[in-house]
Structure 1
Amino acid sequence: MEDSLKTEIIIKSVTKIAQQDGIPVFVVKKGDPDSGIILIKIDLLNGKGQLIRRNYSYSLKKNKSIIEYIKLHKEIELEYPKLQKLIEKEIKIDTDAWVVEIEDKQGRNFFEKI
């Protein structure tokens, strides 16, 4: 999918892809429908999870914009309370951010599929 797609459309597409695999996806917080950043909370269904931010950056090597997925913590996974504090911190920085939760024991980031 193209970089220029609206955030809301990207999230709807990912939701459909994940649900086809039987994986629930929830929009926890709606952000700017056109260009809000996406915070992806991956719930591992064991009391722990990961927080990933979908970033755009410019690659000089490729001479174009690229999409990167950046884990926002050093640990492999965080316990829910720490994860929630991190989400709250990120939302304070960017109030237009979306928070999308994927419940998947395997920890898959379905945004990488588009």
Structure 2
Amino acid sequence: MRLRADIWVSAYLRRCAVEGAVATLRRRGAAEAGAIFVKIDRLDGRAALFAPAPQSELAEHGVERLWSRAHKDDWIEPADVEKRLAREIGFDSDLWIVEVEDRHGRHWLDLAEESPI
């Protein structure tokens, strides 16, 4: 059974705080199974967006949740991340958005292969 989205987000926010990063919940989604998107802001004009990886990748990696970058480049403009999030909200109003501010760009997510969604 998969961990509920609300419990995962709560644990992730705590993990970020323990590591010294500022993480905030920007949008609360469906508690049981809402998709979670994580924005990493380096506070220098660069950002990244991580989205859930395809479910088919989970079994191969043996982890609870798996992530992939939602764009081709490693870092993009924060405004481009916001545009992508607005599109995603249009598709799925039950999604979660977590934003992490970390000058080093750390994210603490298990990543799938580095191919953008």
Instruction: Using structure 1 for the length normalisation, give the TM-score.
Output: 0.84
Cα distance change, pair 22–33 in 1 and its aligned pair in 2 (3 A): same
2:58–2:66 CA contact under 8 A, matched in 1: no
1:77 aligns with 2:63: no
What displacement does 1:60 show? Answer: 9.4
Identical pairs, percent: 26
Q: Which of 83, 89, 93 pairs up with 1:95? A: 93
| Deviant stretches of 4+, over 4 Å | 59-62
Whole-Å Cα distance in 2 between the matches of residues 79 and 61 of structure 1?
33
Q: Which of 30, 33, 41 pairs up with 2:28? A: 30
Aligned residue-pair number:
110
Cα distance change, pair 51–59 in 1 and its aligned pair in 2 (3 A): closer
1:40–1:101 CA contact under 8 A, matched in 2: yes
1:42–1:102 CA contact under 8 A, matched in 2: yes
Instruction: Using structure 2 for the length normalisation, give the TM-score.
Output: 0.82
Specify every segment of 5 or more residues in structure 1 that has no aligned partner in the other structure, as ranges: none
Who is 1:104 aligned against?
102
Whole-Å Cα distance in 2 between the matches of residues 10 and 67 of structure 1?
9
Tell me the alpha carbon deviations over residues 38-62 of structure 1, each in whole angstroms, 9 at most, x when there is no partner: 0000011112200011235135974
Give the aligned CA root-mean-square deviation in angstroms: 2.4
1:56–1:67 CA contact under 8 A, matched in 2: no
